[in-house]
Structure 1
Amino acid sequence: MTSPNESGRQAIRRDNRRMVGKLLVVTVAMFGFGYALVPMYQAICDALGINVLSLSERLVPGNASHRATAVNTQVDTSRTITVEFDANARGPWDFKPAMRSITVHPGEMATVMYEFRNVQNRTMAAQAIPSYAPKQATAHFNKLECFCFNEYMLQPGESKQWPVVFVIDPKLPRDVTTITLSYTFFEVGGRVPAAPAGFQSAAPAQEPRS
């Protein structure tokens, strides 16, 4: 005959086995749910058109297309903007865009490479300042990556390439069909040159009236 103490211990062991079994079931269920989250998330994003995984693809410098391959639902495909690239070198060096113009849709991410070569026999520090035409395009030209305003040190004969990654705001006035992005490259420590002709510059100070 089983004693009361032995019956109690057996009951506790049965309860423990049941608890372990329940915990194992919960653990397996949680693992399966976590594993299923990835395809579920991907399917939901694809169905709603908000697949951030595909939007994270960025343009790789050197790509011959010079375009981002990601699909952006904010792109205005009903219109195109011609972006012209200009380079002004204030000094004895070579500075130019890899392409003279590109056609993009507002909201579309694009890039252009600028090339620079120090043709002097001395080390130099230089930087670039941008300007835009027409004036109303300035607030709608959004640069995601740019070499402007950074100071660069170049050794004699050294060549550099820098990308300009940009997006034109779809709110750009519809009468603007061409934008010119111009860079003026100058040596640091020298006099900052005036903006190229046809581009907005600071208004000259008025002389006091006598």
Structure 2
Amino acid sequence: MSTRSPREADRSFNRSMLVKLVVMAVVMFGFGFALVPLYRAICEVTGANSLTKRDATVKQAKNTQVDLTRTISIEFDANGRGPLVFKPESASLDVHPGEVTVVKYRVTNEQNRQVQAQAIPSYAPGLATEYFEKIECFCFRQQTLAAHETREMPVVFYVDPKLPKDVKTITLSYTFFELNAPAPNAGTTSAALASASGT
């Protein structure tokens, strides 16, 4: 009867343990890959992963601050100064207080040079100023227009539902003027003055 030496027994044990560890590692690796489809299947059954799906039966949330019982007429006015042609695309709109609305203005630089300009808003009646809320407006910053450039510029706004009940119409008026306009030619100015004085 042959007996193995302790060294051979250790080697045999080590080989057996190595095979078990390799098999276990392969099984764990495969289980890691299997988790993804398994997770998806569980989510589909339970509906747990609802963030990735949109329920077609859910309606879009409505702004509960909109006062549908009132309608305000918003009139749009525009004044272009200097080389600017400036006007709204709509003369007026009817809106409900609290309703977010977009209106566009169009400006054209008729000069052969770049123009820097700024729009200043005003409101009528004057008390409407504190109830007319602009979310986005070209009047918030200076505008740089290239020679003969035409640009559409939106105004995103809403009327505060706290607007007094007797106000039915608001006029939003903009004056769009050139900044740092070049001074007129001195010779041309002198000639014009001389012509006006009859000399």
Per-residue deviation, 1:92: 2.7
- Rounded Cα–Cα distance in structure 2 between residues aligned with 1:95 and 1:124: 14
SS of residue paired to 1:137: helix
Q: Secondary structure at the match of 1:125?
A: strand
CA RMSD across the alignment: 3.5
Report percent identity of matched pairs. Answer: 50
Query: Aligned to 1:74, which of 37, 61, 65?
Result: 65
Distance in 2 (alpha carbons) for counterparts of 1:156 and 1:42: 48
Residue equivalent to 2:159: 168
- Return closer, same or farther for 1:30/1:136 CA change in 2, 3 Å cut-off: farther
1:138 aligns with 2:129: yes
Structure 1 runs not aligned, ≥5 long: 1-22, 51-70, 191-210
Matched residue count: 167
Deviations 1:134-159 (Å, cap 9, x if unpaired)? Answer: 12211221112110031122122111
The structure 1 residue matched to 2:79, chosen from 64, 88, 108, is 88
Paired residue for 1:97? Answer: 88
CA radius of gyration, larger in: 2
SS in structure 2 opposite 1:171? coil
TM-score relative to the length of structure 2: 0.64
Residue 149 and residue 34 in structure 1: after superposition, are their counterparts in 2 closer, same or farther (change >3 A)?
A: same
Name the residue aligned to 1:205. none
> What is the distance in 1 between the residues matched to 2:41 and 2:177?
61
SS in 2 for 1:122: coil
Unmatched 5+ stretches in structure 2 = 1-31, 182-199
Equivalent in the alignment of 1:38: 50
Q: In structure 2, do the counterparts of structure 1 residues 49 and 98 end up closer, same or farther at CA, with 3 Å as the change threshold?
A: closer
| Mapping of residues 174-193 of structure 1, within 5 Å | 174-189=165-180
Please state which structure has a larger fraction of its residues in helix. 2
